[in-house]
Structure 1
Amino acid sequence: MPATAKPTKAHVSAVETETIPFERALPVGLLRGREAVMRHMRPILRAHGTTEQQWRVLRALNDVQPMDKTTLTNHAALLMPSLLRILKDLKQAGLIRLVRSQTNRRLTGVILTARGADYVEVVTTALAQKSVQLKQVIGEATVEQLLDLLRTVELRLSTIPSDERAR
């Protein structure tokens, strides 16, 4: 249905529902929870000269190397155009390098340089200290439960088609 079209009865679900209050909307709750955590982490990232998106790429590469760009977009929760821009910046900073696949020369993997690995270690240490503080406030069990619930949401929603994939 075009963005300008008005929904008709044919577009309305058979089960009528009330409008969800803004404060109880799932996307809003997820964003607010993320922001509550990131307002404590963002200053640490800034102090080390990195953005949230750059950090997600570096942190993902710290766990698995080499990683192809498509896999990296999924691990770092980024779209490909953003990843390509970030990789260019990280490469210029000497934190990553691109390597050709040994099995398929058309594929390029991304790895951390020694400088990149050292950088990740320094920033990870600073973030870990803050994470300990946040877990003390939130509660270790609550954090673990939240992470399990978020993983459940991610897995269950991955089983249904998304309109975004069609774009």
Structure 2
Amino acid sequence: MNIFKGAPIVFAGVLLLLLSFVFLVFYDFPKKIDLDYPAYEYNSNQPEYGEETRIKLQGVLKRPIFSDEVFSGKIIIDKYQETAEYELIDVGFHSENGMGSLSYTNTSNGELELNLFGVIWKSDDFDMVNIMLNNPNSQSSEEIHLRISAPANNYNEAERIEGNLID
């Protein structure tokens, strides 16, 4: 009786399992994102302040199994020109809370400009988005809590999205 007769089958099975594991570890399961949402910008301290805008998301969401999701592409907010003109730094979303840093870069006159625009939360494949903007009025002692939620057309919809994503 030859114990090595089944060895090629065992070897092939082990090799197949190993290759499957390597595939799952390194493949990032990309998904193309091309969305255009109505959005609502508001001050969470002053619900009476708010205005409609739009958010466009274009790029690729990489969704690896064993690490955080990463979005590469463009996140353009109509009201903020720099989001269209500057280059978005890839956004890594923490798996525990769906939060990432929204930052843009630009090179003009040989100098690198970095805009730490804010923090972004998302659900699933950007079904809902909430952005907390960095305080644009930082010279003032008054703290402004600007948020942008999408898809939303009014304060109530925007607050509901923020509550779903952040709380």
After TM superposition, the score normalised by the length of structure 2 is 0.24
Bigger radius of gyration among the two:
2
- TM-score normalised by L of structure 1: 0.24
